[in-house]
């Protein structure tokens, strides 16, 4: 009896220490490179299966559905792991459509994209949004915004040429969405923020020096560091032609609100933000703001939250592009095993923020 119990305990420890078990416990939608089988029910499932989690002592992992079936298990009727290949086929078709949109010089009609995929327009659009988090139309707009930014940074191009190079069929259509895509007028972006006014101030907090910058729309920068002069120089480098003004008495409200949020990230932040990024980046940043203080997530989980489970690398890029520290809490993203990943403003600051948030969450009254 002792040997049997010891064998079960050893198996349980092996399962609990297997990285795949954490994906099962978190119902990771992106984990499709294995299935898990439950001895007590003789059923095998995907990691994302909505069924109640089994005890680890009853769990076995298999690389493919075929291996699980060869071992005597049958497919779960809820998550349908034996149909995962069909899902992969749809994802491949959507990925091909994305590449086609990215390379196209003009908008591709929905019907044409659907026909190329061999799907009805309604089903194609539904699957496209489920996988990418965007409709084909919004995906194309995001891609044009990326092209626009690249074109505007080309010293040899002018704004008009950049508009057409980015795939806009008319300048009026571009200007209608310019502020959302660039955070400013295209001329100001081209000229490094020329004619753009940014008020700023540098203060001290528990994480060191903090720079707060704001346009007329709202806070556009919160950066952390050890050298106040370096923080100001980085702001100037980002907007080389913008007019920078030291914050006045009224700006002290912004300073106080940001520092208060750094010291207690659990409290709401009510000041407006001037978030300058692509539609995709803004989706990632909003998902970050939806993570409760004291909790963490991984890049793969964050990708699943925005409906793009295969976009972990792009999500990591969006986190790295964040210029509004703490308020857009990219510090809450960790590796799949829970270890700290890189942080724009230093891993030690990230660790300090997470410890502070976890302590606040533990002491929060019920």
| pLDDT > 70? residue 225 | yes
- 76 is annotated as contributing to ligand binding: yes
What are the pLDDT digits (tens) for 80-117?
A: 888 755 566 777 788 888 888 877 767 789 999 999 88
Query: What pTM was computed for the model?
Result: 0.53
Most confident of 19-28, 203-212, 241-250, 338-347: 203-212
Same fold, 1-79 and 85-147: no
| pLDDT > 80? residue 170 | no
- Residue 254: what pLDDT? 87
| pLDDT > 70? residue 250 | yes
Mean pLDDT across 244-267: 85
Of the CATH numbers 2.130.10.10, 3.30.565.10, 3.40.10.10, 3.40.50.880, which one belongs to the domain with range 1-79? Answer: 3.40.10.10
- 98 is annotated as contributing to ligand binding: no
Pick the closest to residue 245 from 214, 210, 199 (CA basis): 199
| pLDDT > 80? residue 164 | no
Q: pLDDT band at residue 325, thresholds of 50, 70 and 90?
A: very high
Is residue 212 within 8 A of residue 219, CB to CB? The reply is: yes
Mean pLDDT across 204-209: 92
Going from N- to C-terminal start, the domains of the chain cover: 1-79, 85-147, 197-263, 279-359
d(CA 43, CA 33): 17
CATH code of 197-263, in short, is 3.30.160.70
d(CA 110, CA 318): 27
Mean pLDDT across 109-129: 87
| First-residue to last-residue Cα distance in the chain | 44
CATH fold of 279-359 reads Arc Repressor Mutant, subunit A (1.10.10)
| pLDDT > 60? residue 355 | yes
CA angle 70, 74, 79 (to 5 degrees): 125
Looking at the annotation, which residues are catalytic?
Answer: 45, 330
- Residue 180: what pLDDT? 47
Mean pLDDT across 216-237: 89
- Please give the residue that has the higher pLDDT: either 146 or 248: 248
Mean pLDDT across 204-211: 92
- Residue 162: what pLDDT? 47
What are the pLDDT digits (tens) for 35-75?
A: 999 998 999 999 988 888 888 888 999 988 888 888 999 99
Residue 104 CB burial class (10 angstroms; 0-12, 13-18, ≥19): middle
CATH architecture of the region 85-147: Orthogonal Bundle (1.10)
Q: Own/partner pairs for 252-255, CB < 8 Å, 24+ apart?
A: 252/201, 254/201, 254/212, 254/214, 254/219, 255/201, 255/203, 255/212
């Amino acid at each position: 009896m002792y040997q049997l119990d010891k064998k079960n305990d050893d198996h349980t420890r092996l399962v609990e220490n297997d990285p795949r078990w954490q994906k099962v416990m978190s119902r990771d939608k992106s984990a499709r490179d294995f299935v898990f089988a439950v001895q007590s029910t003789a059923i095998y499932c995907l990691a994302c299966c909505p069924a109640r989690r089994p005890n680890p002592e009853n769990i076995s992992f298999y690389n493919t559905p075929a291996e699980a079936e060869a071992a005597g298990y049958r497919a779960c009727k809820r998550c349908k792991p034996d149909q995962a290949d069909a899902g992969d086929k749809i994802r491949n078709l959507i990925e091909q459509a994305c590449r086609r949109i990215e390379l196209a010089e003009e908008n591709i009609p929905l019907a044409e994209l659907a026909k190329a995929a061999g799907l009805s327009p309604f089903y194609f659009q539904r699957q496209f949004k489920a996988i990418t988090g965007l409709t084909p139309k919004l995906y194309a707009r995001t891609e044009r915004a990326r092209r626009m930014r690249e074109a505007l940074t080309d010293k040899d191009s002018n704004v008009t040429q950049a508009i057409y190079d980015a795939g806009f069929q008319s300048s009026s259509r571009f200007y209608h969405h310019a502020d959302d895509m660039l955070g400013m007028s295209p001329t100001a972006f081209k000229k490094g923020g020329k004619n753009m006014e940014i008020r700023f101030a540098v203060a001290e907090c528990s994480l060191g020096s903090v720079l707060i910058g704001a346009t007329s729309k709202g806070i556009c920068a919160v950066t952390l560091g050890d050298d106040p002069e370096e923080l100001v120089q980085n702001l100037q480098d980002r907007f080389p032609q913008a007019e920078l003004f030291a914050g006045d008495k009224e700006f002290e409200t912004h300073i106080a609100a940001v520092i208060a949020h750094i010291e207690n990230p659990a409290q709401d932040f009510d000041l407006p933000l001037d978030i300058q990024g692509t539609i995709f980046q803004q989706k990632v940043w909003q998902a970050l703001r939806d993570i409760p203080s004291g909790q963490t997530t991984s890049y793969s989980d964050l990708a699943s939250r925005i409906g793009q489970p295969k976009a972990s690398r792009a999500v990591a890029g969006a986190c790295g592009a964040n210029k509004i520290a703490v308020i857009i809490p990219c510090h809450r993203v960790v590796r799949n095993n829970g270890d700290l990943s890189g942080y724009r403003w230093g891993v030690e600051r990230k660790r300090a923020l997470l410890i502070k948030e976890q302590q606040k969450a533990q002491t929060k009254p019920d």
